[in-house]
Amino acid sequence: MNQRDDIEARLREFRPRRPAMIPDERLQLLRGPIWIAVAAAIAASMLIVAWLRRPSTPEPVAPTLGTLTAIALERPDDLDAVLTTISRTSLPDVTRPGGALQSLSKL
């Protein structure tokens, strides 16, 4: 028994070698959070671009010749949208029930 203890003690004097660092450990450690951050950044930038590109609704303007002329001269690109908005509120809806379109269709 003592002889076995002796040889055990001799064996224990030998120390197992320390293994090399796990390859690309730092990269492996960062890979998860980096992909989460990249995905979040892409999603955020897409949302911002979509928000900036949303169609602008023109401010309500008085449907007068003066204001329309001013818009046509100063912001010609907006004129079409302004006219569409004005026509929605000032012109009658010909498609409503009992409207002009329905009356004409009965003739």
Partner 1 sequence: MLCSRVLQERFGRVVDDVRGLYETHGPALLAYASALLRNPSAAEDVLHQVFLNLLRGRVSITGEPAAYLFRAVRNGALNHIRGQSREADLTDAAVWLESPDGSRETSLALQSVLRTLPSEQREVIVLRIWGQLTFEEAADVIGISPNTAASRYRYGMAKLKEIWK
Q: Which is nearer to partner 1, 17 or 53 (CB)?
A: 17
Least separation, in Å, of the C-beta of 46 and partner 1?
17
> Is 46 an interacting residue with respect to partner 1 (CB under 8 A)?
no
- Given candidates 8, 59, 74, 77, which one binds partner 1 under the rule CB under 8 A? 8
Q: Give the integer Cα–Cα distance in Å for 85 and 59.
A: 9
The owner of tokens 């002329």 is 69
**Which is nearest to 63 in space by CA: 85, 45, 41, 43?**
85
Residue 60 DSSP one-character state? P
Binding site for partner 1 (CB under 8 A): 3-4, 7-8, 11-20, 22-23, 25, 28-29, 32-33, 36-37, 40
